[in-house]
Amino acid sequence: MKEQLQALEKEALEKVDDATSLKELQDVRVAYLGKKGPITEVLRGMGKLSKEERPVIGELANKVRGNIADAIDSKKASIEAAELEKQLEEETIDVTLPGRPVPTGGPHLLTSIVEEIEDLFIGMGFEVSEGPEVETDYYNFEALNLPKGHPARDMQDSFYITEEILMRTHTSPVQARTMNAMEDKRPVKMICPGKVYRRDTDDATHSHQFTQIEGLYVDKNVRMSDLKGVLDRFAKQMFGQEREIRLRPSFFPFTEPSVEMDISCKVCNGEGCSVCKQTGWIEILGAGMVHPRVLEMAGYDPKVYSGFAFGMGPERIAMLKYGVDDIRHFYTNDMRFLKQYHQA
Binding residues (CB under 5 A) for Zn ion: these are: 265, 267-268, 273, 275-276
Nearer to Zn ion, 167 or 282 (CB): 282
Reduced DSSP (H G I as helix, E B as strand, rest coil) percent helix, strand, coil of the chain, to 5: 45, 20, 35
> CB of 286: closest distance to Zn ion in angstroms?
21
Instruction: Return the bridge partners of 136, or none.
Output: 165
> CB of 311: closest distance to Zn ion in angstroms?
24
Region of residue 200 (phi > 0: left; psi between -120 and 50: alpha; otherwise: beta): beta
Nearer to Zn ion, 87 or 205 (CB): 205
Task: Taking the CA atoms of 92, 93, 98 and 103 in sequence, report the sign of the dihedral they define.
Answer: positive
Number of Cβ within a 10 Å radius of residue 160: 11
Nearer to Zn ion, 43 or 268 (CB): 268
> CB of 244: closest distance to Zn ion in angstroms?
13
> CB of 276: closest distance to Zn ion in angstroms?
3
Nearer to Zn ion, 107 or 272 (CB): 272
Nearer to Zn ion, 246 or 339 (CB): 246
Query: In 223-304, at which residue ranges do the beta strands (DSSP E only) sit?
Result: 245-252, 255-264, 281-290
Residue whose beta carbon is closest to Zn ion: 265
Q: Using an 8 Å Cβ cutoff, are 256 and 148 in contact? A: no
Query: In the chain, at which residue ranges do the beta strands (DSSP E only) sit?
Result: 127-128, 134-136, 165-167, 188-197, 209-220, 245-252, 255-264, 281-290, 305-312
Nearer to Zn ion, 282 or 285 (CB): 282
> CB of 269: closest distance to Zn ion in angstroms?
8
Q: Are strands 188-197 and 209-220 parallel, antiparallel or unpaired?
A: antiparallel
> CB of 320: closest distance to Zn ion in angstroms?
11
